[in-house]
Structures are given as C-alpha cells and as structure tokens.
C-alpha cells in the first residue's frame, strides 16, 4: 500500500495545475508558471484504466465538486490526447467511468453497490481503486468529504502524469498531520520579509471585489500537495490586519480558497487590544483584554466561519507578549484559545525565543523558557518550534523541545524560503534536510521516538498536530524566484501529508511533472538535486558551524563579523575560532546544551570521539590538529569540505549544460544563469572562510 500511496501522490500534483493552464496560460508555455502541474501527454501504455478516463461522473453540487470537474476537464484531454464526457447523476453503470466525489454523493448516484467495499480513510484521506462490475471496470476516487475527493483526484492525476498508473491500483492515503500550513511572512505594504520572488501575492487593493485570478492558481497548487491552511501575514504582525476593512478583504480570500480545502489563519499582534481597542494593557489575565479578543474572534467568525486561528510570535525579537505584563506564554496562548474555542479555532504559539539573559547560550534559551510550561497549555494550543535551536541554518541538530514537552502538541516549523541557504539564487533541494530532522530519534520514549512521531502526535497520542513551512512564493512569474525552488514548496506539502516519503522519490516525482519524462534527463537532474543540500552545508558551514553569514540580509559569508548590538548576532559568537581550535563548547564542561537531549544522545554528543562529525563544531571546541575519521586533521578536513562544496556546484553546472538541448530554452537559460551565480558565491564562501579560519589554524 505504501508504494501505491507514493505513486498516487505523484499523480495528484500534476492535476492541480491543469486549471491554471487553461485559465491563465497559452498552451505549453514554459516560463515556470505551471509549477508541477504541467499537463503534458502521458506515456502510451496499455491498460483498461485508460478507458475509464473517457466517461466521467462527478456527483454533487458543491463548489469543490465543481473544482473537481474543471480539473478533470482540463487535465485528462491534455494527458490522454482524447476528449472526455461527463455523465449525469444516476448514470447507468454499463459505461466505463471515473467517479470522483464524496461518499454520500457516490451512494446517491448509485455508484457504490453491494459487493463494493466501503473504505474509511478518515475525514481528509481518500481512496482510489479499480472496481469491476461484470465486464466493466470503474475507477473510483472518493473520501468522506468533497475536499478529500479533491485530494484523491490530484493524486490520480499525478500518477497519470508520472506514468505510474496501473490497472491494479488500490490506494488509501491519509495525512500524517492535521494542520499542513504555509506561513507567509507578507506585510500589508506588499513586501515580504525574507522573500526572494517579488512582492506579496495578496492584492489587498483589489479585494474585494476583484481578486487576482492568480490566487486561484495558488490555491490549486497548494491543494494538489495536500496543504490545508495559509497564514496570510508576517509573524512580525501589524495589528491593522484585524481591522474591519482588512477582514472584509480576508473574507473574500477565504471564499476563494475554501473550495480547495484551504483555511485562512492570521498572525496576531499580542498588543492589538491596546493598539486597536484603546485598552491600557494587553495583560492576558485581565477580563477586559480577554473580552476584547473574544469580541474580535466573534467578528472574524461572523465573516469567515471556517477561520483556522491565530499564529503568534510573542516576546521575541522585540514583539510584544504576555511577559511584558508579568504573565507567561501559556497565559497568553490560553487566553487567545479561549476566545477561539467556541468557534473551533486553534492558537499556534511560536517557541522562537532567545532571551540570553536566561542563558548565555542562545541554543538553550527556548528549552529553558518553554519546558516549565509543559502541561499548562490548553487543548486548543500548539507550540511551534523551528527544526533547530538557532534559526533555519544550513544544518542544525533537531530542536531539543521535540521530546521535552510530552503534554503539549509540538508543531514543526520549516523554512521553505532559503534565507540562509543562498535564497533564490542557489539550487538547494531541502527535502533531505527535512528528512534528517523528521527521522532524528529523540529517544525520549526509547528507540523509535522520532521527531516525525512527535510532530504527527502518534508518540504522545495528541489529537492536534501540524507542520508549517515559511513560504517562498511571490508575484514573480515562476512563483519562487528560481525554477528549482518550486521543488521545496512541493516537497514540503508532500512531507506534511506523509513524512515517511523519501526525498529522492519526491524529487523524481517533481522532475517528471516539471521537466521531463526522459529517464536520462530525470536521472541527471535528480543527481543534481540529491546532493545539493549537503554541498551547500559544505561550502557554507561544514562540520557543525553555523550563522556565519553576512549580517542583516544573510547572503554570503562574513565569519569575522563582530560588531552587532548583542553577542549572539555576531558570527564570532558561534564559531569561537582561536589559535587553539574552533567550535562552540556545549558539552557538560561548557554550556551544557547536550543535557537538553535525552540519553543516549546526550552522551553521544558530549564525547568528542563519538559526536557525529556533522555536529562536531556545534557541540565542541575542537583543536585544529584533532584527527578526523578520514585521518586528516580538523583543519585539513575543513579545507576539503569547503573545496568539495564548491566542486559540487561546478559539477551541477556542467550537468546542466549537457541538458541544454533536452529542455525548453527559457527555463534552461534561467537555471544556467542561477547556477553561474551560485558557483561564484560558493567560490566566495570557500575562499573567504578558508582565508579567515586559516589565520587561526596555521599560526
């Protein structure tokens, strides 16, 4: 079943973009707008399933059912080269048909009959199965809701587009986590914090009544990979988004996204009662403050009945929060959750805090601040932690909060936009990084207590669960500023649905849908993508180094930076290079950050001889002459890593040049130019870092 699920998921993504093609593009445009939803002719293969794609029945009258019909009407002729026709409800079963709809509609249409077993994939999951009625074959796609059926249709289309469809298909697929969200760091003026693909997609001036047609394409793309929620605004939130004029605009967006199963969430500024309500305090323990938020929640739900809830950044990087009034994070989160509870909303409370007055090691701060609150957050609250304890670095060990708060649903925050990994100029496929985190064993309940099992709620039996990805979309034509950055949006959605999927398999799906079905082309591009993250780590921050990027914009190296207003904003704070060695001592003899991990990880990380080399300088201050597993000294190994990272980028560029005649010229040229810039930046990283660190190592 797992293999079939994998195949199905690939088919779904293709479907999502069929709408976009007909509505927005001339046929076969290759400017990157179609994302992974390029509907092109599928491989010619024998199979009775092909006959099932000619006559279609999509019962139901909901907006989502109409979305399904439109998607199939656009996708199937493009994929098969043959026209399709839609049957009316109660159509006779002596014709081959593909049925897509929720259970109640299939039952009402007489499709589900005795002998056809009903399968239960849950309220968002779906099943796809070939059924035989006499000599006829019927391809069933269904779930318990219209939206689950939409997910199933997208999955089917992905299978068709990747050539993975078979007559014996039988798949049940259900999401691993309940909340699968994109976090947009968009500001109300149209700018995007850490955005590298143009300006915000949300055309506030046109809402309502004239939303940008591109917003429907965005919703289709998200639905095609199972994303079910969007946080519209920056976590560094403006209270203005909670005012009536903006809520009217958001209501229009919610109506546009609803047929695709996407709920709206908002980042809420904690001091909004003072800014908007004229209150003298935002203390969550004050009845007037709680009353203001309850009234605001009522106003929002009157407009948007399926509003998802609030995302909150509080007492972090200057943002206001409950600690300003002597209250705790749990006090603030629970007050907001109480306001949302009558309407079914949730509060997502970010754990990105690093008050170094609590502990001089920034990596320890969030753990020390949040673990005493475990069990004090209400049932409608999730705590959202980044994948690592610093800040979306090229590589970090998993955040020690995962496993340390068993009584609190922990939501994983990943960054799709490549703030620290070359932004939209570098080809860096992030799925291997995310898989490394999700597969990491915390050992808090013994072996097998992976971050993935904590995030999906199965380890501690939490009902609420979620994954969030900081979005990399903007209004540039190709959405993400780099054709290959689209793969990270795609991979995030797929992993949020099923975190057991393999990074290489997801790359294979995406390449087949986005670039080519030619096996040689697929293998060449996959070889580029598969090692691109490790190469980025090597030419930026090998062996456990971190945060040595240039200040502010975080593009390019500056390992010697030491002029910031606070110590932990300096590069030198993190690497601590001197004539004796390099690295941050987080052992029991140093900051003791290792003790925030459960044994045996604590002991593994604490010992210089057993600490994984990929985290060596994260946990240890290591002598330059220390012998590595390769037999080289630490300094020799660092030189090799920086050189290998640069060499990999040069190799990617050479591979890409060999594909020039196999791909469309527009996108090929864009990627070629990006790879040229990446190669030059990797060269700068190598030369600057080796020159700087060499001053200490070679004394």
Catalytic residues: 317, 391, 419
Phi, psi of 585 (to 5 degrees): -80, 105
Q: Check if the beta carbon of residue 537 is closer than 8 Å to that of residue 394.
A: yes
Pair of tokens at residue 571: 């590069």
Checking phi first, is residue 597 left (phi over 0); if not, alpha (psi -120 to 50) or beta? Answer: beta
DSSP H or E segment with residue 697: helix 665-697
Checking phi first, is residue 184 left (phi over 0); if not, alpha (psi -120 to 50) or beta? Answer: beta
- Pairing mode, strands 170-173 and 229-231: unpaired
The angle that helices 2-16 and 63-80 make with each other, rounded to 10 degrees, is 90
Report which DSSP code applies to 633. Answer: B
Q: b/e map of 418-446 (b: 16 or more CB within 10 Å)?
A: bbbbbbbbbbbbbbbbbbbbbebbbbbee
Checking phi first, is residue 278 left (phi over 0); if not, alpha (psi -120 to 50) or beta? Answer: left
Q: What is the DSSP string of 497-558?
A: H-TTS-HHHHHHHHHHHHT---HHHHHHHHHHHHTHHHHHHHHHSGGG----BPTTT--SB-
Burial class (CB in 10 A: 0-12, 13-18, 19+), 555: middle
- Pairing mode, strands 126-133 and 136-143: antiparallel
Pair of tokens at residue 339: 């306001």
Q: Check if the beta carbon of residue 498 is closer than 8 Å to that of residue 431.
A: no
Distance, in Å, from the CA atom of 11 to the CA atom of 4, rounded to the nearest integer, reads 11
Distance, in Å, from the CA atom of 554 to the CA atom of 673, rounded to the nearest integer, reads 21
297: closest CA among 286, 285, 308? Answer: 308
Phi, psi of 325 (to 5 degrees): -120, 15
Handedness of CA 518, 155, 214, 86 (dihedral sign): positive
HSE-CB of 374 using CA atoms within 13 angstroms? 16
136: helix, strand or coil: strand
Phi, psi of 388 (to 5 degrees): -130, 170
Report which DSSP code applies to 198. Answer: S
Checking phi first, is residue 676 left (phi over 0); if not, alpha (psi -120 to 50) or beta? Answer: alpha
DSSP H or E segment with residue 267: strand 263-267
């Amino acid at each position: 079943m797992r293999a079939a699920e994998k195949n199905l998921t690939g088919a779904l993504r293709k479907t999502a973009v069929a709408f976009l093609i007909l509505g927005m593009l001339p046929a076969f445009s290759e400017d990157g707008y179609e994302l992974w939803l390029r509907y092109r002719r599928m491989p010619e293969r024998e199979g009775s399933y092909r006959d099932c794609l000619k006559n279609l029945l999509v019962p139901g009258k909901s907006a989502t059912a109409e979305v399904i019909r439109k998607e199939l009407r656009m996708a199937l002729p493009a994929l098969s080269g043959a026209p399709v026709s839609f049957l009316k409800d109660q159509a006779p079963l002596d014709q081959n048909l593909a049925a897509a709809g929720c259970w109640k509609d299939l039952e009402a249409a007489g499709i589900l009959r005795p002998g056809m077993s009903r399968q239960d994939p849950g309220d968002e999951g779906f099943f796809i199965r070939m059924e035989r009625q006499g000599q006829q074959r019927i391809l069933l796609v269904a779930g318990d809701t219209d939206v689950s059926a939409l997910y199933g249709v997208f999955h089917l289309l992905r299978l068709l587009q990747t050539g993975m469809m078979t007559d014996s298909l039988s798949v049940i697929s259900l999401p691993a986590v309940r909340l699968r969200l994109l976090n947009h760091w968009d500001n109300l003026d149209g700018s995007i914090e850490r955005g590298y693909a143009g300006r915000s997609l949300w055309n506030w001036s046109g809402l309502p009544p004239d939303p940008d047609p591109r917003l429907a394409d965005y919703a289709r793309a998200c639905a095609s990979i199972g994303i079910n929620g969007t946080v519209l605004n920056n976590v560094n939130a403006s209270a203005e988004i909670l005012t009536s004029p903006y809520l009217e605009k958001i209501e229009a967006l919610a109506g546009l996204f609803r047929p695709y199963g996407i709920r709206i969430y908002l980042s809420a500024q904690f001091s909004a009662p003072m800014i908007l309500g004229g209150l003298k305090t935002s203390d969550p323990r004050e009845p007037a403050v709680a009353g203001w938020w309850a009234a605001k929640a009522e106003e929002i739900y009157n407009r948007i009945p399926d509003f998802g809830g609030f995302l909150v950044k509080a007492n972090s990087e200057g943002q206001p929060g409950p600690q300003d009034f002597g209250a705790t994070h749990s006090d603030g989160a629970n007050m907001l959750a109480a306001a949302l509870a009558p309407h079914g909303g949730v509060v997502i409370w970010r754990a990105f805090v690093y008050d170094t007055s609590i502990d001089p090691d920034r990596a320890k701060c969030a753990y020390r601040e949040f673990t005493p609150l475990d069990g004090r957050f209400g049932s409608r609250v999730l705590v959202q932690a980044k994948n690592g304890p610093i800040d979306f670095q090229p590589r970090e060990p998993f955040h020690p909060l995962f496993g340390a708060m068993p009584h609190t649903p922990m939501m994983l925050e990943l960054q799709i936009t490549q703030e620290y990994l070359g932004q939209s100029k570098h080809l860096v496929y992030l799925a291997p990084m995310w898989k490394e985190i999700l597969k990491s064993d915390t050992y808090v309940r013994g072996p097998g207590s992976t971050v993935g099992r904590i995030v999906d709620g199965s380890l501690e039996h939490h009902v609420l669960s979620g994954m969030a990805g900081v979005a990399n979309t903007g209004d540039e034509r190709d959405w993400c500023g780099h054709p290959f950055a689209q793969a990270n949006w795609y991979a995030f959605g797929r992993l949020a649905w099923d975190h057991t999927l393999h990074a290489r398999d997801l790359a294979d799906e995406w390449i087949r849908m986005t670039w080519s079905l030619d096996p040689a082309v697929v293998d060449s591009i996959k070889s580029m993508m598969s090692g691109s993250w490790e190469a980025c780590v090597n030419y930026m921050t090998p062996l456990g180094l971190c945060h040595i990027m240039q200040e502010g914009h975080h593009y390019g190296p500056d390992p010697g930076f030491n002029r910031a207003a606070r110590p932990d904003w300096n590069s030198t704070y993190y690497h601590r290079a001197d004539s004796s060695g390099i690295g941050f001592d987080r052992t029991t003899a140093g900051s003791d950050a290792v003790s925030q991990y459960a044994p045996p990880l604590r002991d593994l990380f604490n010992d210089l001889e057993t600490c994984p080399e990929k985290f060596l300088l994260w946990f240890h201050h290591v002598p330059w002459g220390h012998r590595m597993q390769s037999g080289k000294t630490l300094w020799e190994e660092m030189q090799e890593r920086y050189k290998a990272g640069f060499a990999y980028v040069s190799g990617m560029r050479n591979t890409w040049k060999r594909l020039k005649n196999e791909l469309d010229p527009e996108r090929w040229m864009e990627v070629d130019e990006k790879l040229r810039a990446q190669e030059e930046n990797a060269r700068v990283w190598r030369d600057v870092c080796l020159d700087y660190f060499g001053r200490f190592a070679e004394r």
